[in-house]
Structure 1
Amino acid sequence: RGPETTTMKEAVASPYQRLGGDAGVNRLVERFYHHMDTLPEAVRIRAMHAEDLAPMVDKLAVFLIGWMGGPENYRERFGRAVIPAAHEPFDIGADERDAWLLCMVTALAETDADEELVALLMDAFARMAEMCRTDRPPT
């Protein structure tokens, strides 16, 4: 292919790029945990975390950077990501799922993400949060 052509992957910016790379994802995660720490609706999910959120801020940022199309460093730093299994010890129902999503959408509103990117990410986050529920009957 000639220098004037680009592949689809090169032509379409990833969510990672659209959010502003490492700095944008790190800002999103910092704001997410800020809201988890301060929103009254998030009290129950905040109680599921250690007092010091710094390790979780780091872990979620590294995960989201790779998940959104940036450098994939999660596995080498933390091992395989098995999100539903990591949440099994907790009582997570619709209220907890919704509180998590509230923290995330509030954090996204504080980034440079456009409406299309917010909708794309929130759709994916909603599916992910639903998978973490522990109150569903076995299928």
Structure 2
Amino acid sequence: MKFTKLNDWLGRLNQKSAKSKPASLYEMIGGEETTLNLCQRFYDIMEQDPKAAQLRAIHSEDLRTTRKKFFEFMTGWLGGPSLYEKKYGHPQLRARHLHVKVDESMISQWLYCMNRALEESVTDDQLRQVIWNNLVPLARHMKNQ
């Protein structure tokens, strides 16, 4: 069975018995370990791949805080603990990125890094596709130029 959207996947989970707690994407991909690996690989790729040079240039030299915040955000976004929201409140992603020019080039570079990180970190093809199908519109929503 192929799931192409987060809602398809969630609908399937909701069909489970009321007695069993549905698994989240976070749990299904491997929880904290896989999410941390995904986020670290994203920034490793961004730092090392010349195709992401413009994206890297808009970030601070030291990425430790950025990496941590991204992991906290992705943990909650994937259905794990709401680490980011507990510390910083609602993500308000677009508003938090208004200080930088987010155009098609930036979006493409972000998606390039994320696609590679997903391919290297999430082993299940269907889960990877569900995540990708929901990250693309999120990335496109960030456009402000």
Shorter-chain TM range is 0.7 to 0.9
Q: Structure 1 stretches of 5 or more lacking a match?
A: none
Larger relative contact order (CA 8 Å, sep ≥ 6): 2
| Structure 2 counterpart of 1:6, from 17, 36, 53 | 17
Listed as ranges, the matches of 1:68-107 within 5 Å are 68-107=78-117
Overall identity of the aligned pairs, in %: 30
Q: Are the aligned partners of 2:38 and 2:122 in contact in 1 as well (CA < 8 Å)?
A: no
| 1:9 CA drift (Å) | 7.0
Q: Are the aligned partners of 1:18 and 1:113 in contact in 2 as well (CA < 8 Å)?
A: no
> Aligned-residue CA RMSD in angstroms?
1.7
Q: Are the aligned partners of 2:38 and 2:118 in contact in 1 as well (CA < 8 Å)?
A: yes
| 1:7 CA drift (Å) | 2.5
1:102-125 Cα deviation digits (max 9, x unpaired): 101101111143111111111111
Max Rg structure: 1
Q: Are the aligned partners of 2:39 and 2:67 in contact in 1 as well (CA < 8 Å)?
A: yes
Aligned length: 130
Runs of 4 or more consecutive aligned structure 1 residues displaced over 3 Å after TM superposition: none
Relative to the length of structure 2, the TM-score reads: 0.83
Secondary structure of 1:113's match? coil
1:68-122 Cα deviation digits (max 9, x unpaired): 1111121221222100111111111111101101101101111143111111111
Q: Structure 2 stretches of 5 or more lacking a match?
A: 1-15
Deviates more, 1:98-107 or 1:84-93: 84-93
